[in-house]
Chain A
Amino acid sequence: MPKSMSVVREAIAGDEADDAMAERAVAEQVAAGRKVLPIVEGVVLVAALVAPLVLQDYLTVFATRVIILALFALSFDLVWGYAGIMSFGQALFFGSAGYGVALLARDLDITNIFLVLPAGTLIGLTFALLLGGFLLLGRHPSSVIFVSLGTLTGSYAADRLARGWYYLGGQNGIPSISSMTLGSYEFSEGPPFYYLVLGLLVVVYLLCRFLVRSQFGLALAGLRENEQRIAFFGYKTQHLKAIIFAIGGAVAGLAGSLYAFHEGFVWPNMVGVVVSTQVVLYVLFGGSGTLIGAVIGAVIVEGVSFWLSDNYREVWPIILGVLLLLVILFRPLGLISFVLGERERVGSFGGKSRKTGKEKRDAAP
């Protein structure tokens, strides 16, 4: 059985297989020409900018939701795609921020955009710091499985809590949240809200891009590829992970507060496992480890499901599952890896170096 033997050998020498894959991707990258990433980003940005001009009103509302979800996907991509932390509970930060701003609007009548968005971000950050600090820090490094189960359990527990807590509206959540305000202006659904969200996405995207292309980001990429090696270089890997986890939580919190105001209500699913896994789908689909991949994944998954849900409502989730399986099996880096090589994925560091990404990571510290 030569085939199955080779599989088992791969299990033993998984690292070698990774290296081979990386080399192949670099070769593809060279073949495709350099600097594909800015082109992809530019195309997506232009498409996003003109979208409300060509779309009907109800589609603009839908597009706004997709952009918010793309922002949410970005937060998951930071923790999984860059630091290799499998957060199966990203919705916890998304949803708790949503609930937080909903309570602000309901009980304290605070809807000012300059208060609610930072508040939501802060809620996401706080929860991520608490959960991430607990799960990731400590005397013994936590296993990947433990972190993923811990986040999954956190999300599940939050879901149960939200369902049972009368103050949070129980099963029904909190309906009819008033609109976000800026002075006397109210952001209701439509193009202004769309451009607000898009602007925030661009800002957050650029900040994240700066972050992952900094030395911090390269250390994170190294962490994802080979945690032990980075630890041997003297980085405190647990601290790096906790920091990126908290940042991811903050971004998810921002997305969650926008989502709450856009939809006008929050409900327990928002903190639950369903939304948590949804965001995993986006990022795996689009391509983890590239920020734009997360955005594209969210747009494609949501777009196609919107398009198909009229006629193929029952079949679509099954198709999604099959496609996801195919992507995981044959395109572990997601759809974006069709146009983007490993080298641009990691990014360049130290100017016009001609070294491959892997050597560069070794040289980084």
Chain B
Amino acid sequence: MANAFVAAFEILSFGAIIVLIVLGLGIIASMMGIFNFAQGEFVLLGAYITYLAYAKGLPIWAGMVAAPFVVGALGFVLEALIIRRFYAAPIVAMLGTYALGLIIRESVRGLIGGFYLTVPEPIGGSIDIGAMHISAWRFTIIVITALVMGGCYLLLARTSFGLRVRATLENPSLARASGISTPLIYGATFAFGAALAGLAGALIVPVFSLFADLGLRFLIQGFVAVMVGGVGSFIGPVAGAGVIGTLSAALPWVMAPVVADVLVFVLAIVFIKFRPQGLIAGKGV
């Protein structure tokens, strides 16, 4: 019983991490039609900023709060300077964002060297429920993921900003004719997606430690999750992330980790092949 509970918690916490990472990726892919290959590097930047705050002697949570804002601002600037030129061609956008990601990744590699740097958990220790111990920080991640997910949903579904974003997604010309500044909306959406990645990076760095290829590891998983869930809606990528995250955390309990790792990808690709629209088809929230 206790073992099963610990396993369930592990699976849940990894699923939450994947959801957190995929949120930003999914919003950019769904709302803007761009598969942002630099998303993994935004995660890396968020992690790096947290590490920087820790190394400078600031409290870790300060770095974690700052990370989404800094990465979001960077995303806004990048959108205005570079990403904006790619809307016409999704493949070129993939390559361009890949180049951006390369620049960010190698810059961070130059700054930290080839090391694995650890950042302590701001909330250490464990929560004890009877004989079971679960990591307090992982539990915090689950809670924050749930909050962020709910917040994003409310922002997109219930606010006038969300309405504008969806209008821009649905019909850019009509949105423009209605007085919505679509370039600004695109910029804000991209910045928001980048900020979510920054937050994800800040939160996971105590779990995974900081290294230059941190983002790359999650990028492919994130893309697969977005495709499995279905591009075009908010809830699709989240659902996909839940499925992929749960599978990749659950399968290693029943088979060799290497096989499980590969099997998740194979299953996902086969699934997308036969259901290209994803788990949840349709546009909107």
Query: Which residues of A are interface residues toward B (Cβ below 8 A)?
Result: 1, 4-5, 7-8, 10-12, 14, 17, 86, 134-135, 138, 140, 142-146, 148-150, 152-154, 156-157, 160-161, 163-165, 273, 277, 280, 284, 314-315, 317-318, 320-322, 324-325, 328-329, 332
Contacts and interface: CB of A to CB of B under 8 A. Distances in A.
Given A8-B183, A12-B172, A164-B257, A156 B273 contact: no
Contact of A86 (B91, B96, B257, B268): B91
Interface stretch (B43-51, B54-62, B131-139, B258-266): B258-266
A156 B91 contact: no
Nearest to A161: B262
Contacts of B85: 7, 329
Interface string B20-54: 00000000000000010000000000000000000
Interface string B59-88: 000000000000000000000001011011
Given A153-B224, A280-B95, A329-B82, A318 B107 contact: yes
Interface of B: 35, 82, 84-85, 87-92, 94-96, 98-100, 102-103, 106-107, 109-110, 172-173, 176, 181-183, 216, 220, 223-224, 227, 231, 256-259, 261-262, 265-266, 268-269, 272-273, 276
Main secondary structure of the interface of A (DSSP, over half): helix
B35 A328 contact: no
Contacts of B259: 164
Given A280-B95, A314-B110, A321 B88 contact: no
Given A4-B183, A12-B173, A284-B95, A156 B88 contact: no
B236 to A, nearest CB: 14
A318 B87 CA distance: 24
Residue with the highest number of chain B CB atoms closer than 10 Å, among A10, A134, A135, A318: A318
Contacts of A142: 273, 276
A17 B224 contact: no
Contact of A138 (B94, B96, B224, B273): B273
A143 B110 contact: no
A325 B182 contact: no
Contacts of B258: 160-161, 163-165
A289 to B, nearest CB: 13
A174 B99 CA distance: 31
Nearest 8 Cβ contacts at the A-B interface: A164-B258, A321-B103, A321-B102, A317-B106, A14-B88, A4-B183, A325-B99, A11-B87
